[in-house]
Structure 1
Amino acid sequence: MSLSAMPPVACFDEPRLTAGFEQFGRLDLRAHEEVHGPINPLSAASLLKLADGIELKGKGGAGFPFARKMRAVLESADKQDLPAVVVVNATEGEPASWKDKVLLTRAPHLILDGAALAAYALDAEEIVIGVADDGVGEGSLAAALSERRMPVQTGIVTVPHRFISGEGGALVRGINGEAHIPPGVKKRASDSGVSGLPTMLSNAETYAQMAIAARLGPYDYAAVGTSDEPGTVLLTVTGAAGRPAVVECPAGTPLKEILDLCEVPPGPGVLVGGYHGKWITAEAAAKAEVSRKGLEAVGGVLGAGIVIPLSEDTCPLGEVAQVVQYLAGESAGQCGPCRLGLPDLARSVDLTVAGSAASEVVRVAANVVKGRGACSHPDGSGRFAISAMEVFAEDLAAHSTRDGCGRKVKGLMGLPPSAGSNSYRLSVDWSRCDGHGLCAHVVPEFIRLDGNGFPAFPPTPVPTWLEAGARKAVRMCPALALRLSGDSH
């Protein structure tokens, strides 16, 4: 991923987070202070009052109230008599999202201002900023740190640019020197996070919004937006958009106006909230507002502010299948819903695209993993797939009654170029296969036996965490019928 691939930035109404971009491009410390003015530290009580006053919620997708999270850290630090740590999650592991990268590369001091406010209020001993190892943002952030003095020791930690690396628990584990995957059990960072200390963990845009609010105060901050969701929102609009962009707009802005700004053509549906979000129809998008409540009212979610419209000349179900395959391969593979459930979900979606199964098969596969994962990855993947079955019902009918919808998959979902291209695929030499069934016992997560006892598996890449099992199945096949393409072993 390169800086040249970053989408342009647009603003609907007066800019806040994106102020000064037109004039300066990237805001160094001098430009930052000229555009945004000075900022003063706040006590814990004052920062909590401000966060409550503007109803600030996390911008990374979950939308957890900032003040509630901060109170939990304060209470835990006091109860355990331990110092706190502030963590900025700027990893942005979802390939379709660019808003945090825009802030890192063009307004890094806003992120640092917000982190410094939190560290001062919490009397924290350290600030850690997590960024992806994709080469986007780290240099800009390091340059910004060299220009200023932070209230406490501040460091940058890079994590693999994978979908699950941006999950909060995975980031904390990575900072602690462990594998960059979600923990096997759910636990709160506010109780025990970095180095076992109470940890204030929030998204990069959330800290930047706090820096804006600390300068404006709650009244002026709420001059734009809605009564219950004041302020602005950063959106990443890509997909079929003629002018893809990261757009800043007040909460409550009609989504149609954002789509028009980005020159989105007519299409069958729009994904809102990203790969863990939901699909909505074109009709729903035409009347939706950009806010949590506004998108929920039409069956969508705001999530991390990702908007991916599709065009009429692509196969929507094919686009969906590619993302579900990617999500299955991106899991940590450490719990049953990921190891067994997500490959089954991908298989079910593939069957509907091939016209071999009804959409109910997808719903059943998604419901099997719902609420059972060690993190939110299975739930989010299932939500994505089920909403696609509902929104693209007409396409499903076309796939079930004839040879598909007649449209090719254009690849509009923002998947990385490497998704699936460097993965191994299983195949069977049917002239050799005798239906021993041993392979299905070796890799039951991916290979099953059909009604006649022969191996059946989707034509999708083998998930990374199942490659070793797939190689073992190839080696153990009594008839030497199983093949693993791309395997150099």
Structure 2
Amino acid sequence: MTALAVRQIGPPRLTKGLESAGRLDWDAHRALHPHPRPLTTDQLIALCEAGSLHGRGGAAFPFARKVKATADSAVRRRKRTVVVVNGTEGEPGSAKDKTLLRGAPHLILDGAALAATALGSLEIIVAVTDPDAAASVQRAIAERGLGARARVVRLPERFITGEGGALVRGINGGRPIPPGRKSRASTRGVDGLPTLLSNAETYAQLAVLAGLGPHRYRKVGLPQEPGTVLLTVTGSARFPAVVETAAGAPLGHLLDLCGSRAGEGVLVGGYHGAWLKGEVATRTQVSRAGLAAAGGALGAGIVMPLGRGTCPLGECARVARYLAAESAGQCGPCRLGLPDLAGALTALASGQDAAAARDTVARAARMVTGRGACAHPDGTARFVLSAMDAFEDDIARHVADGGCGRPVLGVLPAATDARLSLEVDWSRCDGHGLCADVLRGTVRMDEYDYPVIPSEPIPARLEADARRAVAACPGLALRLVPRTAHDKPRPEPQRGR
């Protein structure tokens, strides 16, 4: 994602000095932020408890408990520890961590160094996918003279790369996908050592908390959720931005700042978050408790309003196909359930036997929930089911009229590492359907038993299956063509008026 403007509601903390979108070098950083004094493990835990610091990567786990678990594991196993900064930010709609890594890397390293000193860690590892973020952090490490005590690890840009187990596997030299079994980094993480793992904003918040002290830190925000919140506002916003605001601010104010209205719905928390109806979103406050009470989630700090010019169901179907393709493909819910869910939502969006497709969506979502090896199936099901609730009026139009009459403009980002697209020579296609059998959930059959080919390129993970589908076509009607750098999402026309 390209750099976004930085906006603030109230006095900035994390984004102080970033209004011009520049990078704060060591001297500029120290002019704005005090050097945190070293702490013992017990002092660090007490500080995080006093500041009610929670993780800002999505799960909102209390940071003090992570520190204690890592320290206890190190004592029990008689091992040294490692501190890991998760800066991968695989969510397509998120830029807050990249903004900090590119512009304020020293603030993140302040927090990481504070934790590493308290835990007596061997090293600090900053895991990223963005090349600009990597360069910025590497410069910061050199500016601070950390040498061998800190390093940057580049990992591939994928939705699941930032999952804790996947991240540890990637740092250890393996394929960065969830391990398929529950594991805690605090017990056995990088190189099998107890590992304190949290995302980039969390370490930056720790540095601010240490610099201000708990009393001053809690002067903004809510009693249960003190401090500021960093959010990425994109979607249909006229002025997309990374926004820092005190916890408890009205979501409607945030949308106004970025030149957007709630429209028919607002996605909060990212693609593992949930949709809020427009009228609900404008009455909601930006906080974990406020968003949860409205049926949403703060999650990864993503806010995506959806304007009225695009088809909501078509947008959600694009994202569902993206999420199905971005899975690790290790268990039944990901290999079979998510493609089925995406295929049913695509059929509903296109008006293809929409009433039956609506029922299939609900059934497929129930089938994947609670059965995956990681949280990806659950998060995808939550995204789809909340869309079914938020856009119920639009669904009724699709069922009654075969569509809503609006194109799919690609407002919601669903970029992949895809290199190839599928094309059909309709003069040769006889509707055998073998391509739909091989590419289940990606290619479907219409009411006339002809294949419906997605406008998006084929994800890299499915290239082998796509080649099998091409080879299996009896009429030689299907082919794979290279995707060029100039390809853009094609608007998908919807039937109905």
Partner of residue 55 from structure 1, selected from 41, 52, 56: 52
- CA pair 302-24 structure 1, distance change in 2 beyond 3 A: closer
Q: Is the 8 A contact 2:5 2:21 kept in 1?
A: no
Partner of 1:409: 408
CA RMSD of aligned residues (A): 2.5
In the alignment, the residues of structure 2 paired with residue 242 and residue 450 of structure 1 have an alpha-carbon distance, to the nearest angstrom, of 36
In the TM superposition, what is the alpha-carbon distance from 1:23 to its structure 2 partner?
7.2
2:370 counterpart residue number: 371
Q: Distance in 2 between matches of 1:442 and 1:415?
A: 22
Rounded to whole Å, the distance in 2 between the matches of 1:268 and 1:72 is 43
Question: Which moved further from structure 2: 134-143 or 150-159?
Answer: 150-159
Taking the aligned partners of 1:323 and 1:235, their CA distance within structure 2 comes to: 20
d(CA) in 1 for partners of 2:316, 2:36: 45
Question: Is 2:15–2:244's contact at 8 Å kept on the other side of the alignment?
Answer: yes
Residue 445 (structure 1) shift:
6.9
Separation in 2 of the partners of 1:299 and 1:84? 38
Deviation at 1:117, TM superposition (A): 0.8
Which residue of the other structure, out of 285, 302, 307, is the alignment partner of 2:303? Answer: 307
Which residue pairs with 1:204 in the alignment?
200
Q: Could you say what secondary structure the match of 1:406 adopts?
A: coil
1:36-435 mapped onto 2 (5 Å cutoff): 36-132=33-129, 134-150=130-146, 153-265=149-261, 267-355=263-351, 356-358=353-355, 359-416=358-415, 422-425=419-422, 433=430
- Give, as a single letter, the amino acid of the residue that structure 2 aligns with 1:224: V
Asked whether the 8 Å contact 2:342–2:441 carries over to 1, the reply is: no
Q: Secondary structure at the match of 2:267?
A: strand
Give the counterpart letter for 1:326 in structure 2.
Answer: Y
Identify which range, 369-378 or 202-211, moves more after superposition. 369-378
Aligned-pair CA distance for 1:373: 1.4
Following the alignment from structure 1 to structure 2, what is the Cα–Cα distance between the partners of residues 451 and 255?
Answer: 42
- 192-201 vs 438-447, which deviates more? 438-447
Change (3 A) 1:131 1:155: same
Aligned residue-pair number? 479
| 1:10 equivalent in structure 2 | 7
1:486 correspondence with 2:481 = yes
Report the CA distance between 1:471 and its aligned residue: 2.3
| 8 Å Cα contact 1:428/1:483 also seen in 2 | yes
Which one is further off, 365-374 or 114-123? 365-374
> Does the residue aligned with 2:131 lie in a helix, a strand or coil?
coil
Which segments of 5 or more consecutive residues in structure 2 lack a partner in the other structure?
484-497
Q: In structure 1, the residue corresponding to 2:83 is in which secondary structure?
A: strand
Displacement of 1:487: 7.5
Secondary structure in 2 matching 1:187:
coil
TM-score of the superposition, structure 1-length normalised? 0.91
Aligned-partner SS, 2:354: coil
Q: Secondary structure at the match of 2:282?
A: helix
Distance in 1 (alpha carbons) for counterparts of 2:134 and 2:48? 28
- Cα distance per residue 1:329-351 (max 9 Å; x no partner): 11111221111111111101011
Deviates more, 1:205-214 or 1:315-324: 315-324
Change in CA separation of 1:32 and 1:352 when aligned onto 2, cut-off 3 Å: same
Question: 1: distance between equivalents of 2:152 and 2:262?
Answer: 42
Cα distance, 1:439–1:396 mapped onto 2, change above 3 Å: closer
AA aligned to 1:212 is V
Contact 1:429-1:481 within 8 A present in 2 as well: no
* Structure 2: distance between partners of 1:20 and 1:446: 45
Tell me the TM-score normalised to structure 2 length. 0.90
Q: 1:402 to 1:175 in 2, by over 3 A?
A: same
SS in structure 2 at match of 1:290: coil
Q: Secondary structure at the match of 1:136?
A: helix
Aligned AA for 1:123? Answer: G
Q: Is 1:326–1:419's contact at 8 Å kept on the other side of the alignment? A: no
The one-character-per-residue Cα deviations of 1:295-331 (angstroms, maximum 9, x if unpaired) are: 0111110001100001111111111111111111111
* Residues 81 and 119, structure 2, Cα contact 8 Å, conserved in 1: yes
The one-letter amino acid paired with 1:137 is A
Shift of 1:360: 2.9
> 1:334 aligns to what SS in structure 2?
coil
AA matched with 1:485: L
Partner-residue secondary structure (3-state), 1:21: coil
Q: 1:84/1:68 Cα in 2 relative to 1: closer, same or farther (>3 Å)? A: same
One-letter amino acid of the counterpart of residue 370, structure 1: T
CA offset digits 1:123-151 (Å, max 9, x no partner): 1111110010x323111111111111449
Deviation for aligned residue 1:403: 3.6
1:21 aligns with one of 18, 25, 28? 18
Q: Which runs of 5+ in 1 are unaligned?
A: none
Aligned match of 2:494:
none
Q: In the alignment, is the contact (CA less than 8 A) between 1:266 and 1:312 conserved in 2?
A: no
**Structure 1 contact 314–407 (Cα < 8 Å) conserved:** yes
Cα shift readout 1:173-220 (whole Å, capped 9, x = no counterpart): 111000121112221111111001111100000000000001111111
Report sequence identity in percent.
52
Aligned 8 A contact 2:262 2:281 in 1: no
1:404 alignment partner AA = G
Letter in 2 for 1:148: R
Q: Check 1:55–1:428 CA distance in 2 against 1; reply closer, same or farther (3 A cut).
A: farther
Could you say if the C-alpha distance between residues 384 and 46 of structure 1 is closer, same or farther in structure 2, counting changes exceeding 3 Å?
Answer: same
Asked if structure 1 preserves the Cα contact closer than 8 Å seen for 2:185 and 2:195, the reply is yes
Change (3 A) 1:287 1:57: same
SS in 2 for 1:137: helix
The DSSP-based 3-state class of the residue aligned with 2:229 is strand
> Is contact 1:88-1:203 (8 Å) kept?
yes
Look up the SS of the partner of 2:150 in the other structure.
strand
* 2:315 aligned counterpart, secondary structure: helix
Question: Is the contact between residue 252 and residue 262 of structure 2 (CA under 8 Å) also seen in structure 1?
Answer: no
Cα 1:458–1:70 change in 2 (3 A) is farther
